Amino acid sequence: SSVHAFTTGTIGYFFLGFIAVVLVSALVMVAGVSDRLKTVGHFDSPASRETVFLLNNLFLTVFMFTVLTGTLFPLVAELVRGVKVSVGEPFFNKMSLPVIVVLLFLMGVGPALPWKAATSAEVKNKLLPPLAGALVLTLIALAMGIHNVYGVLAFACTGYAIVANLREFYIGAAARRNAHGEGWALALTRLIGANRRRYGGYISHLGVFLVALGIAASSSLRTEREATLEPGQSVTLAGRTARLKSVWGREEPQRSVIGATLEIMNGDKVTGKVEPRMNFYPMSQQPVPTPQVHSYLTGDLYANLQAFQQQGKNATVKLIWEPLVPWIWFGGGVVILGAIVGIWPNRRRSVA
């Protein structure tokens, strides 16, 4: 929705112009080197890594045009017809989720298949074992309470892809261990060091899978609850309890602040504290809320101050629980780690 806010005022025209310049410049640069990009290619078999790469690129292109269309359509509609059109989350979910699920599946199939062509025996040996991962994560998704189709499919395809990628580490390390008599840790370390680009890519894949699990769980299992509390009273959401300690106010430069101190409880023990607040600015007619978050390994608990009683007798707070959100950030870190491994230069051997 923040993207579509650019249609308000004249800034939308500059935004559209910037996108057009970037798009045209990219096309011109590609056209300028098109003669060097030409290649004679063919596929020896549909069951090959080349085929999966092609399908992956096609679906990435579809995803790109979906996002581009949803982003530019409101701008173009206002520019051409003077009509404000909103393209919201339902459009992107309907058009993008099937593509994302397929991409997750392909990220598992691609590393498992060999180049050129795979025999029927290789296809069975490579593609059937990861189905166990798909089954396990499907059962986990259902046990967590995920019942929408795309959420379950995302977990299933991610489980398949995780096992397929981890098997590549296992197969390579096992081969090196048998050949050189190395321990598992040393064999795995030297395997990655000798093939940084390949295994750096696999590490980045694992990061993407963590991100996918976080997004699927947080979007499918998001819950919220609103309650009016007096100091000492508590509210529980998804097994997490927040107790109102106090409602307070203070003056800060350029604004007045009203906040609520909430203690996060685990039984009778205080495990954390959040202080959502409202900010009142002299030139603004509406307060600007500042929510706060308390993170667990299993998810994020957001607290937002909705209303308050002037004498501090009570406060209305909204709690929002989104499972596995920290996995999104952790997965992003794993993606970066994989990229670093992939681009890290090899040590040059000294020549005697």
- The domains of the chain, with CATH numbers, are 40-220+331-343 (no CATH), 223-328 (2.60.98)
pLDDT at 84: 76
pLDDT at 93: 80
Whole-Å CA distances, 311 to 127, 216, 228, 306: 65, 42, 14, 16
Contact 235, 241 (CB under 8 A): yes
Per-residue pLDDT at 299 exceeds 50: yes
* Cα–Cα distance, 52 to 105 (Å, whole number): 10
Per-residue pLDDT at 216 exceeds 80: yes
Contact 223, 323 (CB under 8 A): no
Please name the residues in contact with 347: beta carbons below 8 A apart, sequence gap of 6 or more.
none
pLDDT at 304: 96
Q: Confidence class of residue 67 from pLDDT cuts 50, 70 and 90?
A: confident
Q: Higher model confidence: residue 231 or residue 41?
A: 231
Token look-up 């056209």 returns: 31
pLDDT at 1: 44
Beta bridge partners of 264: 242, 272
Q: Can you read off the two tokens belonging to residue 42?
A: 């063919």
Give mean pLDDT, residues 120-146.
94
Burial of 92 (0-12, 13-18, 19+ CB in 10 A): middle
Nearest to 104 by CA among 350, 347, 331, 345: 331
* Cα–Cα distance, 25 to 89 (Å, whole number): 29
* Cα–Cα distance, 98 to 154 (Å, whole number): 9
What is the signed CA dihedral for 65, 67, 72, 78, rounded to 10 degrees? 130
Contact 55, 115 (CB under 8 A): no
Contact 130, 163 (CB under 8 A): yes
Q: Confidence class of residue 74 from pLDDT cuts 50, 70 and 90?
A: confident
**Residue 194 main-chain phi, psi, to 5 deg:** -85, -15
Amino acid at 240: R
Q: Confidence class of residue 349 from pLDDT cuts 50, 70 and 90?
A: low
Per-residue pLDDT at 351 exceeds 70: no
Question: What percentage of the chain has pLDDT greater than the value 70?
Answer: 93
Using alpha carbons only, what angle is made at residue 150 by residues 147 and 156, rounded to the nearest 5 degrees? 85
Give mean pLDDT, residues 183-207.
94
Per-residue pLDDT at 163 exceeds 90: yes
On the CB side of 318, CA atoms within 13 Å amount to 10
Question: What percentage of the chain has pLDDT greater than the value 90?
Answer: 62
- Kindly give the residue spans of alpha helices, DSSP state H, lying in the chain: 11-32, 34-37, 49-81, 89-112, 120-127, 131-144, 149-180, 184-194, 196-220, 325-343
Q: Flag the least confident range among 32-36, 135-139, 249-253.
A: 32-36
pLDDT at 70: 85
pLDDT at 41: 65
For the entire predicted model, the pTM comes to 0.82
* Cα–Cα distance, 49 to 111 (Å, whole number): 7
E strand or H helix that includes residue 293? strand 292-296
**Residue 233 main-chain phi, psi, to 5 deg:** -85, 160
Handedness of CA 34, 40, 46, 47 (dihedral sign): negative
Per-residue pLDDT at 43 exceeds 80: no
pLDDT at 40: 66
Q: Confidence class of residue 246 from pLDDT cuts 50, 70 and 90?
A: very high
* Cα–Cα distance, 216 to 325 (Å, whole number): 10
Report the phi/psi class of residue 158: left, alpha or beta, with left for phi > 0 and alpha for psi in -120 to 50: alpha
